[in-house]
Amino acid sequence: MNFSVTILGSGSALPTAHRFPSSQLVSIHGGHYLVDCGEGAQMQLCRYGLPILKINNLFISHLHADHVLGIFGLISTMSMLGRKAPLHIYAPKGMQQMLDSHLRYFGEGLIYSIVVHELSCERKEVILENRQLTVAAFPLYHRVPTCGFLFCEKVPPRNIRKEAIEKYRLHFSAIVAIKNGGDLALPDGEVVPNAQLTYLPYSPRSYAYCADTVACREVAQEVQGVNMLYHEATFADDMRNFAVERGHATALQAAQLAKDANVQKLIIGHFSSRYKNVEVLVSEARRVFENTFPAEDGKVFLPESS
Amino acid sequence: MNFSVTILGSGSALPTAHRFPSSQLVSIHGGHYLVDCGEGAQMQLCRYGLPILKINNLFISHLHADHVLGIFGLISTMSMLGRKAPLHIYAPKGMQQMLDSHLRYFGEGLIYSIVVHELSCERKEVILENRQLTVAAFPLYHRVPTCGFLFCEKVPPRNIRKEAIEKYRLHFSAIVAIKNGGDLALPDGEVVPNAQLTYLPYSPRSYAYCADTVACREVAQEVQGVNMLYHEATFADDMRNFAVERGHATALQAAQLAKDANVQKLIIGHFSSRYKNVEVLVSEARRVFENTFPAEDGKVFLPESS
């Protein structure tokens, strides 16, 4: 399970008995990325046994209370747990000022640095890159500047086939050369191409997070072909007009977007508290895009393999 | 159950899988009083089915993050739920400025007023009084200005005894006069004193909340004889020196204070996250004060009757 998304909060602005506000932990090859941080995110991390101190990067979609209020407690907790590594926060403009304001009251004794990367929310930009993945921010369409986030695994190093090692009696130096992309020249002059000697251990996977936003063509373009898409579905489609007015999407619209963007799996969430049972939203979405699943606090989602 | 305390958070600064930070709901005769408001207090109110909008008064012991961070989400939620009535916040000096700072970011569209009553934390003062009770703030001894809160039921109106109505064939006007405290003059000149005709439906009860603080004589004096005392017990007594240094109490100290103050029932809480099982703290306290109970999130406590 080296690519997973754990839902920490699946509700919208009003918390309910079973849904915390927006937050999720994206875990890829041992790296842990917190996406949105509604109130109580740190308690959910505790409840689900997730590694608070291994979170080095925190992505905030927009500066509405239900996506951001959990940052402040989390920052204190990380300090009390002895964090030394810097914490990177990627968020729309305004985050730094908000954080400074908070730290004036609660920043005493903070023993690590917080690096805020403010995002334009106006164009797609790669905001983080490491050996395993890239994370890009792209514009969403809500009432305030809002970003979606796209996590893309890089193409992994190819593994060498056991059969090839045996068949060609490969020694260490030859194995290293092949692992580095080389072909194999046989004594008789024949060349075995690298692709025959190696295989991709997995196809690179991708995950896109879209909340809060109206569902529109621009978003569909950004998430084209992802293995897994989280898209907000605050309302059922009978509230389509109200949804647009509030900068939100309906379950049907999220599903149509997933279909148009040719994604493989759709998670819907950010449910309005008016839906005691979200079955109505799931059914509505599945009529258009069958591979739809509702976010539930504590649930872990894996991307479909390509 | 017209006098109860529901624990919303029983942990200290570091949340755990089972303990939210400090918060509790004191419910007395239909009035609901929130005491401290650590992160996630509003989610706990939802989880335990408690009436968020009926909270008109919020008491904050001190301005440390684990006692105050839940206010900001709660304020937004109350607004979204359509609150119109003003919300009164009683808290040490600094609360107004902190709130103003928060509302600059998240106060848009707030549809009710918030009245902050800043407390001196230097002397005992009655800060709220209504038909049923008084609430007093009194000094605690922590690292920053901190208040305890003392809830005292008023003496209730006396009820008239059924036997008296029958025996003296009392008419409506006589009943009203007796309920208002009058004696009964009989035709033969004999006077039946009010106390013989009426009874107290219950003895007034009291509840004191003490967190965070060292356990000291001054606190014991303030909570003398209460029916129920909540006192922090962050550590076991083998950490007594560290506790004092941090402005906290041990379970043994809390119990000794309860005994010295002649209280009837002790709840201990604000447990350090190092205690996976708080039995060690409870046992330690019960050796000195048997009627001790550990706070647990969601647990409801009733005061002992006098």
**Could you give the ipTM of this predicted complex?**
0.92
Q: What is the pLDDT of residue A305?
A: 73
Q: What is the pLDDT of residue B304?
A: 84
Q: What is the pLDDT of residue B306?
A: 62
Residue A226 near residue A257, CB atoms below 8 Å: no
Q: Do B104 and A105 touch (CB under 8 A)?
A: no
B210: helix, strand or coil: strand
Alpha-carbon distance of A60 to A50, in angstroms, equals 19
Using a CB-CB distance cutoff of 8 angstroms, which residues of chain A are in contact with residue B40? 39-40, 43
Using a CB-CB distance cutoff of 8 angstroms, which residues of chain A are in contact with residue B21? 73
B120: helix, strand or coil: coil
Q: What is the pLDDT of residue A109?
A: 87
Minimum Cα–Cα distance from A50: chain B residue: B17
Residues A125-173: tens digit of each pLDDT: 999 999 999 999 999 999 999 999 999 999 998 999 999 999 999 999 9
Q: How confident is the model at residue B1 (pLDDT cuts 50, 70, 90)?
A: low
Residue A71 near residue A60, CB atoms below 8 Å: yes
Alpha-carbon distance of B28 to B1, in angstroms, equals 9
How do beta strands B133-139 and B147-153 pair? antiparallel
Alpha-carbon distance of A285 to A251, in angstroms, equals 5
Q: Which helix (H) or strand (E) holds B269?
A: strand B266-269
Q: What is the mean pLDDT of residues B136-150?
A: 98
> Does residue B109 sit at the A interface (CB-CB below 8 Å)?
no
- CB neighbour list of residue B265: distance below 8 Å, 6 or more residues apart: B227, B228, B229, B291, B293, B301, B303, B304
Tally C-beta pairs within 8 A across A and B: 80
Q: Do B46 and A16 touch (CB under 8 A)?
A: yes
Q: Is the pLDDT of residue A254 over 70?
A: yes
Q: What is the mean pLDDT of residues A242-263?
A: 98
Alpha-carbon distance of A163 to A198, in angstroms, equals 10
Q: Do B15 and A63 touch (CB under 8 A)?
A: no
Task: Indicate the residue of B13, B43, B101 with minimum beta-carbon distance to A20.
Answer: B43
Q: How far away is chain A from the Cα of B299, in angstroms, using its nearest Cα?
A: 16
Q: What is the pLDDT of residue A62?
A: 98
Q: How confident is the model at residue A1 (pLDDT cuts 50, 70, 90)?
A: low
Alpha-carbon distance of B205 to B207, in angstroms, equals 7
Residues B59-106: tens digit of each pLDDT: 999 999 999 999 999 999 999 999 999 999 999 999 999 999 999 999
Alpha-carbon distance of A24 to A21, in angstroms, equals 10
> Does residue A194 sit at the B interface (CB-CB below 8 Å)?
no
Q: Provide the H-helix boundaries in A131-171.
A: 162-167
Residues B198-232: tens digit of each pLDDT: 999 989 999 999 999 999 999 999 999 999 999 99
Concatenating the DSSP letter of every residue in A90-120 gives EEETTHHHHHHHHHHHH-TT--S-EEEEEE-
The model's pTM is 0.94
Q: Which residues of A are catalytic?
A: 66
Q: How far away is chain A from the Cα of B230, in angstroms, using its nearest Cα?
A: 23
Residues B28-42: tens digit of each pLDDT: 999 999 999 999 999
Using a CB-CB distance cutoff of 8 angstroms, which residues of chain A are in contact with residue B81? 14
Q: Is the pLDDT of residue B161 over 60?
A: yes
Q: Is the pLDDT of residue B109 over 90?
A: no
Q: Report angle CA B13, A82, B23 to the nearest 5 degrees.
A: 10
Using a CB-CB distance cutoff of 8 angstroms, which residues of chain A are in contact with residue B39? 39-40, 42-43, 69-70, 72-73
> Does residue B82 sit at the A interface (CB-CB below 8 Å)?
no
> Does residue B14 sit at the A interface (CB-CB below 8 Å)?
yes
In chain B, the percentage of residues whose pLDDT exceeds 90 is 95
Residue B38 near residue B22, CB atoms below 8 Å: yes
Higher pLDDT pick, A67 / B108: A67
What are the structure tokens assigned to A175, written together?
Answer: 């194995």
Task: Indicate the residue of A47, A49, A73 with minimum beta-carbon distance to B39.
Answer: A73
- DSSP one-letter code for B265: -
Lowest mean pLDDT among A102-106, B136-140, B257-261: A102-106
**Three state DSSP letters for A206-256:** EEEEECCCCCCHHHHHHCCCCCEEEEECCECHHHHHHHHHCCCCEHHHHHH
Cis? peptide before A212, omega within 30° of 0:
yes
> Does residue A109 sit at the B interface (CB-CB below 8 Å)?
no
> Does residue A110 sit at the B interface (CB-CB below 8 Å)?
no
Alpha-carbon distance of A296 to A6, in angstroms, equals 9
Alpha-carbon distance of B143 to A89, in angstroms, equals 30
Task: Indicate the residue of B17, B42, B72 with minimum beta-carbon distance to A15.
Answer: B42
Q: In a mutagenesis test of the A interface, which of B39, B75, B274, B297 is the best target, namely the one with the most A β-carbons within 10 Å?
A: B39
B245: helix, strand or coil: helix
Using a CB-CB distance cutoff of 8 angstroms, which residues of chain B are in contact with residue A98? 105
CA distances from A285 to A40, A205, A254, A257 (A): 28, 23, 7, 10
How do beta strands A292-294 and A266-269 pair? parallel
Q: What is the pLDDT of residue A306?
A: 62
B49: helix, strand or coil: coil
Q: What is the mean pLDDT of residues A227-239?
A: 98
Q: Which residues 161-190 of B have a C-beta within 8 angstroms of A? A: none
What are the structure tokens assigned to B205, written together?
Answer: 């009860």
In chain B, the percentage of residues whose pLDDT exceeds 70 is 99
Task: Indicate the residue of A47, A80, A105 with minimum beta-carbon distance to B17.
Answer: A47
How do beta strands B198-199 and B266-269 pair? unpaired
C-alpha torsion sign, points B246, B248, B250, B256: positive
Residue B42 near residue B77, CB atoms below 8 Å: yes
In chain A, the percentage of residues whose pLDDT exceeds 90 is 95
Residue B137 near residue B147, CB atoms below 8 Å: yes
Q: What is the pLDDT of residue B305?
A: 74
Mean pLDDT of all residues belonging to chain A: 96
Concatenating the DSSP letter of every residue in A2-57 gives -EEEEEEE-B-SS--SS-PSSEEEEEETTEEEEEEE-TTHHHHHHHTT--GGGEEE
Q: How confident is the model at residue A219 (pLDDT cuts 50, 70, 90)?
A: very high
What are the structure tokens assigned to A54, written together?
Answer: 């291994």
Residues A168-201: tens digit of each pLDDT: 999 999 999 999 999 999 999 999 999 999 999 9
In chain A the first and final C-alpha atoms are separated, in Å, by: 15
What are the structure tokens assigned to A139, written together?
Answer: 């514009």
- CB neighbour list of residue A290: distance below 8 Å, 6 or more residues apart: none
Q: What is the pLDDT of residue A252?
A: 98
Q: Which domains does chain A have, with CATH numbers?
A: 3-156+202-301 (3.60.15.10), 159-199 (no CATH)
Q: Do B94 and A105 touch (CB under 8 A)?
A: yes
